[in-house]
Amino acid sequence: MKVLFSFLLILLTSFSCKTQEREVTYYNNPIINADAPDPSITRNGDDFYLVTTTMHMMPGAPVMKSKDLVNWEIVSYVYESLHDTPKYDMNEGTVYGRGQWATSIRYHEGMFYLLFSPNDHPYSAYIYSTADPATEEWQLVSRTTHFHDGSLFFDDDGRVYVFYGTGELRELEPDLLGVKEDGVNMKIFERDEEETGLLEGSHVVKHNGKYYLMMISWPNGENRRQLCYRADNITGPYEKKVVLEDNFAGFPYVGQGSLIDDKNGNWYAIIFQDRGAIGRVPLLMPVRWEDGWPMLGDEEGKVPASGEIPLKPHPVETPIVGSDDFNDSELKMFWQWNHNPRNENWSLTERPGYLRLKTNRPVDNLYAAYNTLTQRMEGPQCKGVVSIDLSNMKDGDVTGLSAFNGHSGLLSVIKEGDRKYLTMSTNVVELSNREKAILNVIEEEKERIEWTEDEIYLRVDCDFNLHKDIATFYYSADNENWTKIGEDYKMRFDYRKLFMGTRFAIFNYATKESGGYVDIDFFNYVRIL
């Protein structure tokens, strides 16, 4: 009996040790509670790489890295600036809501490849490559035909394709230098009678010899849903199945994203959800292969509020949103400029420990200003504080901190003659449909006070909980005692304007003459769970 008891004890101890050895990653949805739309994902061994859309922001096409699909950090941008048209420099219009869209990232035979088509003239796709997104720069491979929401795909036989549009397939040259003139160029399926509305957002994987094309579907008057088209041959015939139709946490229905496997053979999906002013946030969910179909969500087909991933957790050192004391020789990775920056008008070295923002050509509103520095906001709540030295402003200069979008709330210090005034105001931009030219900015000033100090601290608090989307504005002379100014502002997401989630924006522009500047001591960020 003692021998049997000892044997059972050994078994139990062994099981307990093995259980303790297994590290489990638990996650909550959304995995990134910030604007990161059109997610495309690839894997090299233990490392996952994710690219999302940032359109008119520079540098562009942020590439994030993770080892557990939960904790992500930005490791590179694909390009510093774009110059297809003067609009990227805010000349002859803007690229608000356009620029880099729906990028596709792939790992293939030791190299990473990336394809995107700007949603604007001249309608020509970019293809880039790198051996390592975290340590080496991306190199431009070619400019090719425009592919709307294209999905780059390397087949097992060495041929290369792009799935795009609504069921379009085009073959590329093996070296990716252009389309293959005598290659596949066809429509692989026609929409059936159910598909009466939007159908786009291609993402392709090959699994057990079959081709799986994931697409968003939004039939007229119906809910957004995730479709899958599958076929035994790349050219078809394709059959269709709805693999996810679910809203989540009180927000709208979920759709558009990628499938990915881990090294252990488990499959997952990262699909985004529109969440009002915060933007479009990525959700993580398991994939269940049923009858050869990748069914998304839990056993009931619902987006899980939380879950477990059998991967070792790897917290990241650099989050995708954060604080900056401007002591480094470069801006931190989470910053992006609104449109191409004028590099001669900003500096981290002219006054060490500060970001200097100099005015450029006179403009009459924030949306036309150069060198507006932005970063994402996060839900459910967050706040940002900026410290600004105002002593070198010129008459007509405007500087401050904004909850920046097509509908914006602003804290602005305005220099009028020898006096400075702090205002809280709201701005709504009107843009032309084609050129995205700024037609008008509707401004409403809610409160104004005179400011006599040469330094000011500005704070924006944001609440992105369900049915909230509220920004509240404060100022201080010492970063300790805060006074609310103006009124709570209802933030909005409007695809007809900037087509992005609301961002923190630090700005400085001239309305009369250039030559003034401000020095930013720090930006402090706090996320409130």
Closest CA to 41 of 31, 57, 32, 52: 52
Q: With left for phi above 0 and alpha for psi between -120 and 50, is residue 224 left, alpha or beta?
A: beta
Helix, strand, coil share of the chain (percent; to 5): 5, 50, 45
Number of domains in the chain: 2
One-letter amino acid at 459 equals R
- Give domain status of residue 133, yes or no: yes
DSSP 179: B
Same domain, 235 and 286: yes
Same domain, 501 and 381: yes
Which residues contact residue 472 at a Cβ distance below 8 angstroms, ignoring those fewer than 6 apart?
A: 460, 461, 462, 463, 484, 488, 489
Same domain, 257 and 293: yes
Beta strands, E only, 196-292: 198-207, 210-218, 225-231, 239-244, 247-248, 251-253, 257-261, 267-274, 280-290
- Give domain status of residue 14, yes or no: no
| Bridge pairing between strands 257-261 and 267-274 | antiparallel
Take residue 281 and report the two structure tokens written for it. 């946030």
Same domain, 196 and 281: yes
Closest CA to 43 of 94, 95, 90, 106: 106
| Bridge pairing between strands 293-296 and 306-309 | unpaired
- Give domain status of residue 340, yes or no: yes
- Give domain status of residue 318, yes or no: no
pLDDT of residue 161 exceeding 90, the answer is: yes
For residue 498, give its domain range.
Answer: 336-528
- Give domain status of residue 154, yes or no: yes
Counting residues of the chain whose pLDDT is more than 90, the rounded percentage is 93
Same domain, 519 and 389: yes
Same domain, 384 and 297: no
**Considering Cα of 311, then 315, then 316, then 320, what sign does the dihedral take?**
positive
Distance between CA 464 and CA 471 in Å, rounded?
A: 9
Can you give the pLDDT at residue 121?
A: 85
- Give domain status of residue 104, yes or no: yes
- For 71, other C-beta atoms within 10 Å of its C-beta total 19
pTM: 0.94
pLDDT of residue 107 exceeding 90, the answer is: yes
Contact (Cβ atoms closer than 8 angstroms) between residue 262 and residue 284: no
Take residue 89 and report the two structure tokens written for it. 């420099």
Distance between CA 413 and CA 392 in Å, rounded?
A: 12
Counting residues of the chain whose pLDDT is more than 70, the rounded percentage is 96
Length of the chain: 529
Same domain, 352 and 285: no
Give the domain CATH number at 472.
2.60.120.200
- Span 17-51, pLDDT tens digits: 333 445 677 999 999 999 999 999 999 999 999 99
Can you give the pLDDT at residue 25?
A: 77
Same domain, 240 and 352: no
Contact (Cβ atoms closer than 8 angstroms) between residue 32 and residue 271: no
Same domain, 257 and 359: no
Same domain, 87 and 232: yes
Average pLDDT over residues 214-225: 95
Q: Is the bond preceding residue 380 a cis peptide, omega within 30 degrees?
A: yes
Average pLDDT over residues 132-157: 97
Quick one: pLDDT band at residue 411, thresholds 50, 70, 90? very high
Same domain, 342 and 302: no
Contact (Cβ atoms closer than 8 angstroms) between residue 24 and residue 11: no
- Give domain status of residue 4, yes or no: no
- Boundary (domain end) residue, out of 246, 274, 309: 309
Quick one: pLDDT band at residue 512, thresholds 50, 70, 90? very high
pLDDT of residue 157 exceeding 90, the answer is: yes
Can you give the pLDDT at residue 529?
A: 87
DSSP 78: E
Task: Please give the helix or strand (H or E) that residue 402 lies within, else none.
Answer: strand 397-404
Distance between CA 93 and CA 76 in Å, rounded?
A: 28
As to burial, measured by CB atoms within 10 angstroms (0-12 exposed, 13-18 middle, 19+ buried), residue 280 is: buried
- Span 232-268, pLDDT tens digits: 999 999 999 999 999 999 999 999 999 999 999 999 9
**Tokens 């030219």 -> residue:** 437
One-letter amino acid at 185 equals N
Can you give the pLDDT at residue 1?
A: 44
Give the domain CATH number at 251.
2.115.10.20
Can you give the pLDDT at residue 3?
A: 39
- Please name every residue paired with 429 in a beta bridge, in sequence order, or none if there are none: 441
Distance between CA 243 and CA 231 in Å, rounded?
A: 15
Quick one: pLDDT band at residue 398, thresholds 50, 70, 90? very high
Please name the residue ranges forming H helices in 193-321.
none
Can you give the pLDDT at residue 22?
A: 55
Closest CA to 149 of 85, 86, 216, 242: 216
- Give domain status of residue 329, yes or no: no
Average pLDDT over residues 95-103: 96
- Span 482-500, pLDDT tens digits: 999 999 999 999 999 999 9
Which residues contact residue 8 at a Cβ distance below 8 angstroms, ignoring those fewer than 6 apart?
A: none
Quick one: pLDDT band at residue 155, thresholds 50, 70, 90? very high
Average pLDDT, the chain: 94
* C-alpha to C-alpha distances, 2 to 7, 9, 11, nearest whole angstrom: 9, 10, 14
Same domain, 276 and 413: no
